[in-house]
Chains A and B, each alone.
Chain A
Amino acid sequence: MKSDLHRACATIDGDPTTSPNGRDDDIGAATTTRPACATETAMATIPTVSASVELVNVSKTFGSVDALAPTDLTIDAGEILTLLGPSGCGKTTLLRLIAGLVSASTGRITVDGVSPAQARAEKRIGFIPQAPALLPWRSVRANASLLLEINAAHSPPRPNVSVDELLDEVGLSEFADARPHELSGGMQQRVGLVRAFALDAPLLLMDEPFAALDEITRTEMRHLLTRLRAHHGATVVFVTHSISEAAFLSDRVAVLSSRPGRVTSLEAIDLERPRRPEVEDSEPFFEITTRLRHALGGFV
């Protein structure tokens, strides 16, 4: 499993001797942007093993509606791939297919060589839905631990990072005993991130997690996500309709068009890592967002 990570790093970086944190080692960025209450040594730096995902001729129809045309897609271990497209283009369907929450009409999906259903049963998938989906009767800490308690036989015996450390990292340690309704929308979604990262899952699937947030919070959240992911190393599939989000987070962006949903282009994002928030003001970032906008064609 460990070798998968190194292979992934080698594939992407062309350098198998990358640091144990993989190529997303953003600790430098973390020191400038992390909340004051977080400590530099709070997080372990052992990366989670990452998973590869393969889709071969995968399509999905709901009744007479073609949600997703036959699609081939390979996501490398350790990669951050964003599915970018307008509403109704099938990007969420594609994500839910990978999560095994819906089954494909045709084709085959594998997560590290096994079916999504099996990956789900073995808790190899950390899912972050669009709504924070926090349980209002549980405290912040209990919500963040929820997925560890469910199907506990497959929870990591010794997680790399504890829930409390993660809450500290996202600046919520003071709110650990609070109820979700006492938090702002951005804070609630941070709990959602902690809940998924606590699983130490090699594959993280994120369904427009920041879509309901205001622009300022949204920007902060993508910087936070990059930082958390840097410690973690998992493969990420991220759904969004925000070009800036796609450009900042991704190694590659799959641009989708609608009716039926199909991947029209795969865009490599060749920004160096670690990516600091300032990169969003740079010329290369502007060029990438322009390229993505053109790739989206008539949709924006």
Chain B
Amino acid sequence: MRLLRSIAAPVTGVVLLLLVWEMVVRVFDVRRFVLLAPSKIVAELARDPGSYWSNTLVTARHMLIALTIALAVALVVGSLMAASRFVEEAIQPIFVVILVTPWVAYTTSIVIWLGFGARPIIFLAAFVTFPILTFGVVAGMRGADPAARELLASVDASKWEVLWHLRLPSALPVIFTTLRITVAIALGATYFAEGSTGGTTGLGAVGRRVALDQTIGAEVLWTSTICSSLLGITALVVLSIAERTLLGWHVSQRA
């Protein structure tokens, strides 16, 4: 019964959204570039599925590499920050600057610095997400059970042992929550950077081409937008599966 509901409820929601969307566009005769009817998007997708698929894969690869790098850096920096209040307080203001500065503003500088191609795209997406992930790592590691910390201290555990056996597993639930937030940010940054680096592949590059030359058509713009959404949803589903697999022990994953 629960399984049925967990499938039926979201499907109902999505179908309702698509119906209302389609109706609004038809009844109010909304301009195509403002909002395109779902039926037209599906038709466009069916017209040239290979192209949308390959561009989605390019964006997915950029995002995946960026998030992997961001997570790796966050684990290293976060471990150092969790181990030392001094390091944490020294790094925190730098992160705040990174987080509050609109990345759209300095994307051009990154392109000039790293040149065209995948590098500036991956750099930007990793750069804007790693501080958030680091905060997640620090909060998770700090939340490790004090009694367990004392227990490990009673047998003179090394910092590395405490990190591996206690702090890292304790941080996993928070890391997953933070990853969910950063997926959306990484996708946005990847999409924008793909359009800013003059490349020809990736959903962001497709979207940019339409923005510059509207004769290409609203169909292409909206279909690439929907492909981006589907990519984001896929990333979240993959994360949920990983979370269920890795965090079966955690209270959040228990019925």
Contact = CB atoms under 8 A, between A and B. Distances in A.
B169 interface: yes
Contacts, number: 65
Nearest to B157: A150
B249 interface: yes
A129 interface: yes
B162 to A, nearest CB: 9
Given A99-B154, A121-B156, A181-B254, A133 B169 contact: no
B151 A151 contact: no
Interface stretch (B60-68, B142-150, B202-210, B232-240): B142-150
Contacts of B161: 150-151
Task: Specify which of A131, A132, A133 lies most central, judged by the most chain B CB atoms within 10 Å of its CB.
Answer: A133
Contact of A151 (B156, B247, B249, B254): B156
A101 interface: yes
A127 interface: yes
A136 interface: yes
A149 B165 contact: yes
Contact of B158 (A125, A129, A151, A199): A151
B147 A136 contact: no
Interface in B130-188: 145, 147-148, 150-158, 161, 165-166, 169
Contacts of A131: 145, 147
B119 interface: no
B249 A123 contact: no
B250 interface: yes
A208 to B, nearest CB: 12
B104 to A, nearest CB: 40
B158 A135 contact: no
A131 B145 CA distance: 10
Contacts of A135: 145, 148, 165-166, 169
Given A150-B161, A181-B254, A137 B249 contact: yes
A280 B122 CA distance: 71
A199 B166 contact: no
A144 to B, nearest CB: 12
Contacts of B169: 135, 137
A29 interface: no
Interface in B215-255: 247, 249-251, 254
A241 interface: no
Contacts of A205: 154
Contacts of B150: 101, 127, 129, 133
B197 to A, nearest CB: 42
Contacts of A133: 145, 147-148, 150-151
Interface residues of B, number: 21
B249 to A, nearest CB: 4
A218 interface: no
Nearest to B158: A151
B42 to A, nearest CB: 44
Contacts of B247: 137
Interface in A198-213: 199, 205
Contacts of B147: 129-133
Given A135-B169, A149-B165, A123 B156 contact: yes
Contacts of A179: 249
B165 A150 contact: yes
A120 interface: yes
Task: Specify which of B147, B155, B157, B165 lies most central, judged by the most chain A CB atoms within 10 Å of its CB.
Answer: B155
B151 to A, nearest CB: 5
Contact of B155 (A129, A130, A151): A151
A146 interface: yes
Task: Specify which of B145, B154, B169 lies most central, judged by the most chain A CB atoms within 10 Å of its CB.
Answer: B154
B154 A125 contact: yes
A61 B151 CA distance: 23
Contact of B157 (A101, A136, A151): A151
Contacts of B154: 99, 101, 120, 125-127, 147, 205
A99 B154 CA distance: 7
A129 B250 CA distance: 22
A123 B151 CA distance: 12
Task: Specify which of A125, A129, A154 lies most central, judged by the most chain B CB atoms within 10 Å of its CB.
Answer: A129
A101 B153 contact: yes
Nearest to B153: A101
5 pairs of A and B residues whose beta carbons are closest in the complex: A127-B154, A133-B147, A131-B147, A121-B156, A133-B148
Given A136-B250, A151-B161, 15 more contacts: A99-B154, A101-B153, A120-B155, A125-B154, A127-B150, A127-B151, A127-B154, A127-B155, A131-B145, A132-B147, A133-B150, A137-B169, A137-B250, A147-B154, A181-B249
14 contacts: A120-B155, A123-B156, A127-B151, A130-B147, A132-B147, A133-B145, A133-B151, A135-B169, A136-B250, A137-B249, A147-B154, A147-B155, A151-B156, A179-B249
